[in-house]
Chain A
Amino acid sequence: MAYGGLSEISRGALAVWRRNLDAFIKTYRVNFIPPFVEPLLYLLALGYGVGALIQDVDGIPYPIFIAPALVSISVMYSAFFECTYSSYVRMYYQKTFDAMIATPLSIEDVICGEILWGATRGTIYAALMIPVLFLFGVIDLPTSLLLIPFAFPAGILFSAIGMCFTAITPSIDALNYPAFLFITPMFLFSGTFFPISILPQALQYFAFGFLPLANVVNVNRAITMAEFSPMLLYNIVWVLLVALLFFIIALNLMKRRLVN
């Protein structure tokens, strides 16, 4: 248990990651649709629909304003849902984790592999969205390619948070609570569809202090706008530290759930 369980992680975690990648590739037809369709729908409805009424945000055309948020949201959803509903199904219904821990893999290997996979899935989605957004002319290349490497730590963050809920949920239905009470509000209030700066000062502090998506959106928007400020450093460090924190919490909660 030294180092919060981190020392129990071995290369075996990559075998767990590979298993999930293989399963993903097997069903690629369904898996590759969301990253193409989602930005399309959002851009059409919000970017051009609502955007027609708004003109611009701080001098930025509305579709361009929401483009980085769309990538952030996609990373959040894919990583969070992978490590909640999908991991829960593997753990509880398919007994995949039981089969894995009867091999040399430790519980920490399994959980680490799952979180790495959730982050990878988020990264794949971010990468697939880029050409679509580029075709719409709402992001610039090559700067926006930086969205891809940042999707990975952001993905770890959302996967690890999801895994914590999976570790404590009494049933698969109870996972709806974090989805509706945590993910959905965050989806709306993290500087996604309107700038955080129009919120009261206290809420702005709250957003950057406690909302993962707010910090992720800020980084992604800086990337697509190619505008870098000191605040950006804070956001990046916040994402990295909080990701590590929840990663360790997830390992320990899962260990508690699975060891008997």
Chain B
Amino acid sequence: MEIITADNLEKYFGTLAAVDGISFSVQRGEIFGFLGPNGAGKTTAMKMIHCVSKRTGGELRVFGMDTDTDPRQIKQRLGVVPQENNPDPDFTTFQNLTIYARYFGIPASEAEQRAEELLEFMQLSEKRDAPIETLSGGMKRRLIIARALMNEPELLILDEPTIGLDPQARHLIWEKLRHLRSLGCTLVMTTHYLDEAERLCDRLVIMNSGKILVEGSPAELVRQYAGEEIVEAAASPGTIACLKEQGVEFEVFGDTIQVQTSDPQNIARTLMESCRRERITVRRATLEDVFLKLTGRTLRE
């Protein structure tokens, strides 16, 4: 069943196309990822999905309802973790959750019980009565995720959920997100951590300049765009000349040569035997290779 359907979705800020005609659909119970460099349009797309930004063109339906005409009904059923933390600084951790629940019309006793559970779930119980300014960045992030779960959403929108978290906390979040998926919750997330996307997402799209470049499961995308294995070596002129001589296709990134291959032994042997043996490594191709290949290696402003 389709939870989100976008058809030629478009968002212009003046003449800037932040989202430039994207089409995708998200199925019930999957984790769907949006990847892309800074300014690609991920946050803009998230905001249109959770009805706080109005599209300027195309179609967008969430739970089968139009985001333009039924924002209240849609928002009642989804949870939002925005890119920037915005806890309510006038209240404690616990009160942040119960007050947020009021915006959904959840009765106080139910809200309090759920808030206790979620603080436990996000390992924030110790900070239950702490003022917000005494929380660390990572604790605030966990609080925002807990807050997004207060209304037991069917769809969770997470804009860079693990930004600023330490490795322990990231693993904790991943585990929680997978747990939510197992309960039937649908998750849409953006991230700049490609290992995170690879581990979590069932399907993802890579965006650039407001457009979707590719869509697929992480494994499919890696296979299709980066091959199976990558052999890397130091980019010395000798090695480059040598590989050319051997007729091996390669790419140079800064001080590193990369060869995409399904036969790494052979390439590695060629490098070891015929060329200079300098910093040769063999590794599996990853989503990062796909990402850099498709979106380029130059910095975005």
Q: In the complex, are the beta carbons of A105 and B103 less than 8 A apart?
A: yes
Closest Cβ of chain B: how far from A19's Cβ, in Å?
5
Q: In the complex, are the beta carbons of A94 and B89 less than 8 A apart?
A: yes
Q: Residue B100 contacts which of A22, A98, A103, A259 (CB distance < 8 angstroms)?
A: A103
Contacts of A106 in B (CB 8 A): 71-72
Give chain A interface residues in 239-260, CB to chain B under 8 Å.
259-260
**With A102-B82, A103-B104: A19-B75 Cβ-Cβ less than 8 Å:** no
Q: Mark A8-40, 1 if CB is under 8 A from B, else 0.
A: 001110011011001100100000000000000
Q: Residue B103 contacts which of A22, A23, A26, A100 (CB distance < 8 angstroms)?
A: A100
A99 at the binding interface (Cβ < 8 Å):
yes
Q: In the complex, are the beta carbons of B52 and A102 less than 8 A apart?
A: yes
Q: Which residue of B lies closest to A18 (CB)?
A: B102
Give chain B interface residues in 51-94, CB to chain A under 8 Å.
52-54, 71-73, 75-76, 80, 82, 84, 86-91
Could you pull out 11 A-B pairs where Cβ atoms are within 8 angstroms?
Answer: A10-B72, A22-B91, A26-B90, A26-B91, A94-B90, A95-B86, A98-B82, A98-B86, A103-B104, A104-B72, A260-B13
Contacts of A96 in B (CB 8 A): 86, 88
**With A12-B103, A12-B105: A102-B75 Cβ-Cβ less than 8 Å:** yes
Q: Is the interface of B mostly helix, strand, loop or mixed?
A: loop
Contacts of A23 in B (CB 8 A): 90-91
Contacts of A22 in B (CB 8 A): 91, 95, 99
Q: In the complex, are the beta carbons of A15 and B54 less than 8 A apart?
A: no
Closest Cβ of chain A: how far from B114's Cβ, in Å?
15
Contacts of B73 in A (CB 8 A): 104
**With A12-B103, A19-B99, A19-B102: A102-B88 Cβ-Cβ less than 8 Å:** no
Q: In the complex, are the beta carbons of A15 and B103 less than 8 A apart?
A: yes
**Cα-based distance from A106 to B73 in the complex (angstroms):** 11
Report, as a range, how many residues of chain A touch the other chain.
20 to 34
**Cα-based distance from A26 to B91 in the complex (angstroms):** 9
Contacts of A26 in B (CB 8 A): 90-91
**Cα-based distance from A223 to B95 in the complex (angstroms):** 41
Q: Which residue of A lies closest to B77 (CB)?
A: A104
Interface centre among A101, A104, A105, A106 (most CB of B within 10 A): A104
Give chain A interface residues in 75-117, CB to chain B under 8 Å.
94-96, 98-106
Q: In the complex, are the beta carbons of A94 and B103 less than 8 A apart?
A: no
**Cα-based distance from A23 to B88 in the complex (angstroms):** 10
Q: Which residue of B lies closest to A105 (CB)?
A: B103
**Cα-based distance from A99 to B75 in the complex (angstroms):** 12
Closest Cβ of chain B: how far from A147's Cβ, in Å?
29
**Cα-based distance from A106 to B74 in the complex (angstroms):** 12
Q: What is the interface of chain B, defined by CB distance below 8 A to chain A?
A: 13, 50, 52-54, 71-73, 75-76, 80, 82, 84, 86-91, 95, 99-100, 102-105, 151
Closest Cβ of chain A: how far from B41's Cβ, in Å?
14
**Cα-based distance from A11 to B106 in the complex (angstroms):** 12
**Cα-based distance from A95 to B88 in the complex (angstroms):** 8
Contacts of B82 in A (CB 8 A): 98-99, 102
Q: In the complex, are the beta carbons of B103 and A98 less than 8 A apart?
A: no
Known: A11-B105, A103-B104, A104-B72. 10 other contacts (CB 8 A): A15-B99, A23-B90, A95-B86, A96-B88, A102-B80, A103-B75, A103-B100, A104-B103, A260-B13, A260-B54
**With A95-B86, A104-B72: A260-B53 Cβ-Cβ less than 8 Å:** yes
Q: In the complex, are the beta carbons of B54 and A259 less than 8 A apart?
A: yes
**Cα-based distance from A105 to B76 in the complex (angstroms):** 9
Interface centre among B50, B53, B72 (most CB of A within 10 A): B72
**Cα-based distance from A100 to B223 in the complex (angstroms):** 43
**Cα-based distance from A100 to B100 in the complex (angstroms):** 8
**With A95-B86, A99-B86: A15-B91 Cβ-Cβ less than 8 Å:** no
Q: In the complex, are the beta carbons of B105 and A104 less than 8 A apart?
A: yes
**With A11-B105, A104-B76, A104-B105: A99-B52 Cβ-Cβ less than 8 Å:** no
Q: Which residue of A lies closest to B96 (CB)?
A: A99
Contacts of A259 in B (CB 8 A): 53-54
**Cα-based distance from A18 to B91 in the complex (angstroms):** 13
Contacts of A101 in B (CB 8 A): 52
Contacts of B90 in A (CB 8 A): 23, 26, 94
**With A96-B86, A98-B52, A259-B54: A103-B91 Cβ-Cβ less than 8 Å:** no
**Cα-based distance from A104 to B76 in the complex (angstroms):** 5
**Cα-based distance from A22 to B96 in the complex (angstroms):** 11
Contacts of B100 in A (CB 8 A): 99, 103
Contacts of A260 in B (CB 8 A): 13, 53-54
Q: Which residue of A lies closest to B73 (CB)?
A: A104
Contacts of A104 in B (CB 8 A): 72-73, 75-76, 103-105
Interface centre among A23, A98, A102, A104 (most CB of B within 10 A): A102
Q: In the complex, are the beta carbons of A103 and B89 less than 8 A apart?
A: no
Q: Which residue of B lies closest to A24 (CB)?
A: B90
Q: Which residue of A lies closest to B81 (CB)?
A: A102
Q: Which residue of A lies closest to B75 (CB)?
A: A104
Q: In the complex, are the beta carbons of A95 and B105 less than 8 A apart?
A: no
**Cα-based distance from A172 to B52 in the complex (angstroms):** 24
**Cα-based distance from A106 to B95 in the complex (angstroms):** 22
